Chain A
Amino acid sequence: MEQRHGIEALTSGAMASVWEWTKSKIPSDLGVFDAHAHIGVDIDGRTMTGEGMRERMQAAGIVQSIVFPLNDPNARDDYSGPNDVVWSAYEDYPDLFVPFFRLNPHLDYDGEFARCIERGFEGLKLHPVSQEFELDNPKVVRLFGMAAGANIPVLIHAGFAMQRIVEPLLPTVEKHPNLRLILGHAAMVETLEAARQFEGHPNVLFETSVVQAKDLYVLFSSLDPGRISYGSDIPYGDYPSTLHATLAAADAAGVPDEHIPGILSGNIRRWFG
């Protein structure tokens, strides 16, 4: 089956006016930074390559993306295989990608953690649903401490299927004020409580990928927009619809236009040299 996932299918017909409005909200000189995208293979059958990401980014005007593995069937013990796939995509396009590695906190992760830091990965991705752990699991708390020690940010899946986010994460945030955390999918079900509890912790960012506009409206109405960063979650999201959700929600919440460059890039891009 031929899939027309190109920008045409995503922006034609009834999407044309949506995409036009979305582009009109993005300053013309701004290169958008995508804080959440995947490269590799997932057990659900989805795949994405570095080349596929490059095409999508170029078509939509995205200049840089954080990329990390999917829930890869070949992850085995330490995720080294999928992490290698991300690294090789990064080597192909070093200007486009900010590579994060992924780990399974249940398994022995010290070796792969050290290998990835040594190699130059710029952050860690953790997925509590796929790898079936709670954010206050001692092995996970230890890993957060290691990330703080190595001075790398951690992106946590804090979206669909999550049931506990703020309460198990708060002690870690309080213990490691310098640890940079990205709440993937903006803490979705707990977005309002997360905005309240993490408001005073400037190193916690809320990332918007595939979050419904109404959740983002509440977030933008409750938190400094300087703490919110755009993400796509490709291959689960796409650029036109996720950019629209973020910008339309910010617009409805009355976020002044001067904050748009930060939301679409600066708020997180400043973390990476």
Chain B
Amino acid sequence: MADLHLDNVSKSFGTLEVIRNVCLDVAHGEFIVFVGPSGCGKSTLLRLITGLESVTGGRIFIGGVDVTQVRPSDRRVAMVFQSYALFPHLTVAENIGFGLRLAKRPAAVIRQRVDAVARTLRIKDLLDRKPGQLSGGQRQRVAIGRSIIRSPEVFLFDEPLSNLDAALRVLMRLEITRLHNRLQATMIFVTHDQTEAMTLADRIYVFNQGRIEQSGTPMDLYNSPSNRFVAGFIGSPAMNFLPGKVEQTGDHMMLKIGSTRLRLDQSFTSVSHREISVGIRPEHLRVVESSAGHVRAEVEIIEELGAEVIAYLQIEGISDPITIRLPPQRHVVPGQQVGVRFASEHFHLFGSNGTRLC
């Protein structure tokens, strides 16, 4: 069965270490999303899994078989490239059947398989066109068609939707979910888009500088990020980070943010006398009358998004602005003095090295 297992995989280009001791386990049929900042090595990891690049350390198992030294085409993986990588001189049918033709399968078999794939992806009437005559979404489908015809065990998608416009992205996203439901194959999907990551993934892997920062279900990552990096990376608009100080007063712990002091719950007792970073998501902040808030702030910019309002506020004594997500009927105007209340049960506290404190 097609589980994918990476055992301590590393990759260096010369002295540049791009992938550092990555271990990951993907169960059969799982939909995995890789996210991470640009240049963190997501594409490189996919290329290692396909065999287009060879590892400099560690081993790769697909379906329990060590494929580290196996040729790319024998690994039963398929990849859909960001640029689609369709052969411009071949028709859609020839593109989809390219691998079968290389394998010298009889023409009748090829045609039959291509037809079947085309039917699944609803591109039957495009078969005689060249890629240049297709729209972005159609090209995407052809690229997917080429990858599914050999019924691979693992599908790899490297930012496949990033060249499409917003509406088409949503359509293709649904298309890929449908495909996953039908094929029940293992899929790994690289994206920069938060919504894609949250909606598609069974599990998300967050990468940074060639390492896995955290993995888990989308809600796991959202609700309990294990470090400051993940907390800041998952969620849009991003989590706010405020400088805070933990102090012991009497028998409780107090958290000092700007000019205000908040009482901390029992669970925070492990912290003492430390400069920390307090993370709080934009939806866990409330705007109130200026006298009723934990802190005073001035509204700087308002972004009306229809279903919600994003406000950027400047808190007294704190240099970076904070982001607040408001219901659409909330009327605040730039320049207004307001109070901000924190929902302290939603605090994420991180130490100065970025690790989660509780």
Does B bind A? no
